[in-house]
Structure 1
Amino acid sequence: MSAIMSEKSKAEPASNVVNSLRALRMAKGLSQGQLADGALITRQAVCAIEADQYLPTTAVALRLASVLGCHVEDIFSLKTTGELIEGDWVWGGLPVSAVQPRTRVKVAKVEDRFVVRPVAALGEILNYTVPADGLIIGKVGSGPRSAKSDRRVLVRLLRERQIVEREIAVAGCDPAINLASEYLHRHKDTYTVVGWSMGSAAALEALKRREVHMAGLHILDAKTGESNLPYLRRHLQGDDYIVVTFAAWEEGLLVRAGNPKRIRAVDDLLRPNVVLVNREEGAAARMLLDQRLEALGADRTHVKGYGVTVSSHFEVARHIAEGHGDVGIGVRSAAQIFGLDFVPLQQARYDLVLPKRYLSSHPGLSHLLDAIASRQFRTEVEALGGYDMTETGKVRSLRVG
């Protein structure tokens, strides 16, 4: 027994410990001397610890954590608990300066950098069902000596880095993309998909900023009646993009069950007793509404509730179902989920766009496109209602000719 106890009580080899002291010190903008003074040790001791020449005592580790404003396990952790990485905070709902330590985050590698978003941004339900990839440790360059003002954060991974690097980030407003993650996982179990809810214009801008691998949009051109391609031709330079159809769906007016206010067309939104639940600027639903109001020669300020916006089709439907409005622009599937009536206005195509080079640099993207084109996936999405998957997987020509 004594032999077993002595074996188990041996000090952990330094090779088994992830040492993040130097990264955390630099993130705070501290010199080795400043850290040493605060922790009541010598600068040479700090230098030796950072060089993995020895592990500090418990008391010294606690003082180092106190100076750095973090937990001891943020500085020293076993390699099995995940490594420390730097990434770009890309969620506009919260400035990086307000990000709290230990915030649960999703991490995706887009080209040569990691992008970081909070799990909570997925919504109140997915926040409790989607596992985090890591926890925020702090902001890079937050110390008084740092001249950095970017959005870099330190993240302690909760999963293996190789798995995190296989994650696919998709921006758009169709939640059905999250179903594709399950189909992808069945055949390629090391890849996952995370869908970030954004309007069409915002999704495309996120793609151009290299914050996601793929963007979804459904913008019908008022002049030509063509979906997405005219908009993409105006906003994308070059031909280094591939456009693949996800689905066609019906867009229209979401109204309360039974349609008690007899809303039949966009001009009914001008009635003083009708309250709109609007989408944010840049959303395709907002563009459709503005086009119809402009065609009527109507002043949008006369639409009650025009300035009150939400960020997804589901949020529009939820607000109407809860009695916070009478009508909104959205898709039939959202109306069906919340038990609302639906007045169709048009059919539009929802396309996915991604840089061609990503297909070779991230093999999971090809697997994802195969998954959404599969018969099983198309059958299940059509069962949601309001989807036409006839052309799913069809590649569109971005450039004329």
Structure 2
Amino acid sequence: MKHLQISPAWFFTDGQGEQLDPRLFALLRAVHKQNKLTQAAEACGFSYRHAWNMLQHWEEFFGTPLIEKQRGRGSRLSPLGEKLLWAEQRVAARLEPQLESLSSEINLEIAHLLEGNKPVLRLHASHGYAVALLPKHMGELPLDLQYCSPADALSALARNACDIAGFHLPIGTAQALNREYRKRLKPRNHQIIQFITRRQGLMVQAGNPLGVKGLADLAEIDLRFINRQTNSGTRSLLDALLKEADVSSVKIKGFEQVEFTHSAVAAYIAANMADVGFGVEAAARQFGLDFIPLARERYVMACHKQLLNDPKFQVFLNIIRGEEFRKAVRLLPGYSGDDCGLVSTVDETFKAREISIYEA
């Protein structure tokens, strides 16, 4: 199957409407990682001359260097080079859920036109690194993946607007949050598919220069915090953890500043626009940040019982139970897919000791 992928494009206007070459960002990323232009060019598949000419062209365009040569230490990005790189990564990270949802809709429309109306599996889910892997592994199974908050996903399931709803359950903490999700599910009507487990915590700048150790430091240290939007599952988890730790969000500088994905929070910190954020470990590692684990959670999916016998659902289960998908999950820092594809009842899921809402 052919898949359309939507990516943001950059336009810098100099009166002639010249478009910034997107390959420049790949080169800037490689210079940032390799610290040598020769190795950066090789990593991008460019000749050294081509890479050098590209940099010269855009340095003339902006009127300032994009890289700085260091005697005996290779090259590093200039302040403008760093700003361009982090801006590109912030834009991509912030728009990722919307673009993926839109591309899913368009791909399905194209598939219907070319191949007819095949059965489609509709998944509404909270955005995350493991969920984002699904479209790449579905093969011939048409997947309509729409990102939304856990509450909205479960509401969509209740009104039959989706087949599967993805949400996450904290392990051993924030049980009030689990109780809220439990109220939305009916044991006689629903089943739970185990998906992955992941670690959430504080993302801090490399080396943790402020010495942040836990949630209390967010209110006690003079730092800049970057938050998630109020309706996200990760924000709900953070709010619950702060309440358990008796930490007032009013005392956290920047608590009202929000981004819309884990990677967008990490990119914001990597760009030195904030000191600390809350999210998954995979995002922190992606942007070279340090990570302080605070919670583990199970990412699960709910469906109506009658879906269990649907052929397209069986295909979906076989894919997420397969070694290829589990291997991809294992490559994500802080993620585990050991129980991926295990089907259980609502009561079995919520009575499990690690997420039990029944214990005192």
Q: Same fold (TM over 0.5)?
A: yes
Stretches of structure 2 lacking an aligned partner (at least 5 in a row): 1-94, 352-360
CA contact (8 A) 2:126 2:232 kept: no
For these two proteins, the number of residue pairs brought into alignment is: 255
- Identity fraction in percent: 27
Give the 5 Å matches for 1:64-83.
none
SS of the residue 1:210 aligns to: coil
- Poorly superposed stretches of 4+, deviation over 6 Å: 125-130, 221-224
Label 1:178 to 1:223 Cα distance change in 2 as closer, same or farther (>3 A). closer
Post-superposition shift, 1:254?
A: 1.2
Stretches of structure 1 lacking an aligned partner (at least 5 in a row): 1-119, 136-155
Which structure carries more relative contact order (alpha carbon 8 Å, separation 6+)? 2
Residues in 2 aligned to 1:286 and 1:265: alpha-carbon distance in whole angstroms: 16
Residues in 2 aligned to 1:322 and 1:127: alpha-carbon distance in whole angstroms: 27
Deviations 1:216-238 (A, max 9, x none): 2113277686995x444222235
Judging by fraction of residues, say which structure has more helix.
2
SS of the residue 1:399 aligns to: helix
Deviations 1:269-293 (A, max 9, x none): 1146312221222433222222232
Post-superposition shift, 1:240?
A: 1.1
Label 1:323 to 1:124 Cα distance change in 2 as closer, same or farther (>3 A). farther
Label 1:132 to 1:367 Cα distance change in 2 as closer, same or farther (>3 A). closer
What is the aligned partner in structure 1 of residue 122 from structure 2? 168
Label 1:235 to 1:269 Cα distance change in 2 as closer, same or farther (>3 A). same
SS of the residue 1:205 aligns to: helix
SS of the residue 1:219 aligns to: strand
What is the aligned partner in structure 1 of residue 138 from structure 2? 184
SS of the residue 1:323 aligns to: coil
Tell me how large the CA RMSD over aligned residues is: 3.1
Give the 5 Å matches for 1:313-392.
313-360=262-309, 362-392=310-340
SS of the residue 2:170 aligns to: coil
Residues in 2 aligned to 1:196 and 1:175: alpha-carbon distance in whole angstroms: 14
What is the aligned partner in structure 1 of residue 65 from structure 2? none
Give the residue type in structure 1 aligned to 2:306.
Answer: R
Residues in 2 aligned to 1:126 and 1:233: alpha-carbon distance in whole angstroms: 26
Residues in 2 aligned to 1:204 and 1:129: alpha-carbon distance in whole angstroms: 20
Residues in 2 aligned to 1:296 and 1:371: alpha-carbon distance in whole angstroms: 40
Residues in 1 aligned to 2:289 and 2:96: alpha-carbon distance in whole angstroms: 26
Deviations 1:233-260 (A, max 9, x none): 2222352111011111111111122222
Normalising by structure 2, what TM-score?
0.62
CA contact (8 A) 2:101 2:146 kept: no
Label 1:322 to 1:364 Cα distance change in 2 as closer, same or farther (>3 A). farther
Look at both structures and tell me which one has the larger radius of gyration over its CA atoms: 1
Label 1:371 to 1:125 Cα distance change in 2 as closer, same or farther (>3 A). closer
CA contact (8 A) 1:264 1:343 kept: yes
Post-superposition shift, 1:373?
A: 0.8
What is the aligned partner in structure 2 of residue 198 from structure 1? 148
Deviations 1:74-121 (A, max 9, x none): xxxxxxxxxxxxxxxxxxxxxxxxxxxxxxxxxxxxxxxxxxxxxx87
What is the aligned partner in structure 2 of residue 306 from structure 1? 255
